[in-house]
Amino acid sequence: MSPLVVAHVSPQVVVYVLTALAALVVVLTRLRLGKDDGGAGRFQVPRALIHLHLVFGVLALLSWLVFLIAADTTTAGSDTVGIIALACWWIVVLIGLLILVRWLPSHGKHAASSTEDSWSAGPGLSVLAHVGMFVGVCVFTWAYLNAKV
């Protein structure tokens, strides 16, 4: 048997892959919940929350990409831009976790049952996306604080 070989992946590659996945979460959340029926779940998500998720997601993505691509000596690559991008990512995470509230079970005589959509049955996709976003932003923050990006 050959020994198990673990390839070393640089933190920069991990950050770029997670950035692409985070962009996907923001866009797919908008597509899934931006419809007139409000998407799946037990509760309707306010449209303002969906719009905020999209706006801060786009701001986070653009500012984060500018920060990652720009040279450290430029204004675009400065710590200020990195901090603004991280703040936007954390706002996206908080809004995303609020969006997950729509799946909390409700009890009582007038409790509504959950609605389904064509994307998935149950909260699995939403949990994967928004908990994944939380983990991704934790990695972004770690990479920033440890000067890995």
Domain boundaries, the chain: 46-105+120-149
Buried b (16+ CB within 10 A) or exposed e, 83-106: ebbbebbbbbbebbeebbebbeee
Residue with tokens 């996306």: 129
Percent of the chain with pLDDT over 70: 74
Q: Where are the alpha helices (DSSP H) in the chain?
A: 11-33, 47-69, 79-100, 124-145
pLDDT of residue 36: 58
Predicted model pTM: 0.79
| Per-residue pLDDT tens digits for 11-57 | 999 999 999 999 998 888 888 776 655 555 556 677 888 889 899 99
Neighbours of 33 (CB within 10 A): 24
